Structure 1
Amino acid sequence: MTTEELRNRLKVFAVRIVKLVDKLPNTSAGRAIGNQIVRSGTSPAANYRAACLGKSDKDFLNKLKMVEEELDETLYWIELLGDTSLVKQELLSDLYRENEELLKIIISSITTMKARMNK
């Protein structure tokens, strides 16, 4: 996957998160979780863009780690949305799967970058 393809995939993921949040119920829980997931689910795209502009390998790696953390947090919020029945599990499954795939890609990139830096 190219840098541009990953950038686009993360952006599409962010758009999907925003659309999900707009459909959450206007309850205390819906607003609270919505605020959290919109932050964690949209930041990976922005952080990956910043990583691509990294001033050094170490800077790039640190920004990739931020992407990893935010994607992992987003997985948690998606799980919580399903566990609390704020959104039906079956409506979340595709988004959850995409989140997992993006996380695996980022973890693989981090592993590759660490190996390259240790040479």
Structure 2
Amino acid sequence: MKPNIIKEKSFDFAVNIVNLYKDLAYNKKEFVMSRQILKSGTSIGANVREAEFAQSKLDFISKMSISLKEANKTDYWLDLLHATEFLSKDEFDKFKPKSQEMLRLLVSIVKTSKE
């Protein structure tokens, strides 16, 4: 069985997001944006997992499109956390490329699936 790259990367990304949430909530006492990024950042992988057992191609495209929307939302929260100085430049530089990679992969999957 060949590896499912998006499944693996979205899970690893979710683990990183959970750890970011813990740091933001417990150490920086930021509770609103941290909760938002936790929800959207972990939802990416959850929807990828749902898409694995989609009932049809349309269902697959729907689940992956939801993942894409959640990835875009996560990218927004990263930008906002950085702009409001809850994320340092180093932290932002660690997360932003991974977020952009999620977006690129999901755009590619959705686009290819629709063709």
Question: What is the aligned residue count?
Answer: 111
Which segment is superposed worse, 87-96 or 56-65? 87-96
- Aligned residue for 1:100? 100
Q: CA deviation at 1:8?
A: 1.3
What are structure 2's unaligned runs of at least 5 residues?
Answer: none
In structure 2, distance between residues paired with 1:96 and 1:40: 15
Q: CA deviation at 1:4?
A: 2.2
In structure 2, distance between residues paired with 1:103 and 1:67: 9
Matched, 1:49 2:44: no
Aligned-pair identity (%): 30
- Aligned residue for 2:68? 68
Q: Which amino acid aligns with 1:58?
A: L
In structure 2, distance between residues paired with 1:81 and 1:9: 22
- Aligned residue for 2:4? 4
In structure 2, distance between residues paired with 1:75 and 1:32: 16
In structure 1, distance between residues paired with 2:69 and 2:3: 19
TM-score under structure 1 length normalisation:
0.89
Q: Which amino acid aligns with 2:90?
A: E
In structure 1, distance between residues paired with 2:6 and 2:77: 22
In structure 2, distance between residues paired with 1:114 and 1:104: 16
- Aligned residue for 2:90? 90
Q: CA deviation at 1:108?
A: 0.6
Structure 1 segments (4+ residues) deviating >2 Å: 2-5
Q: CA deviation at 1:3?
A: 5.5
Please give the per-residue CA displacement for 1:44-80, whole angstroms capped at 9, x wherever unaligned.
Answer: 1010000111000000000010000000000000001
In structure 2, distance between residues paired with 1:44 and 1:3: 18
Structure 1 vs Structure 2 CA RMSD: 1.1
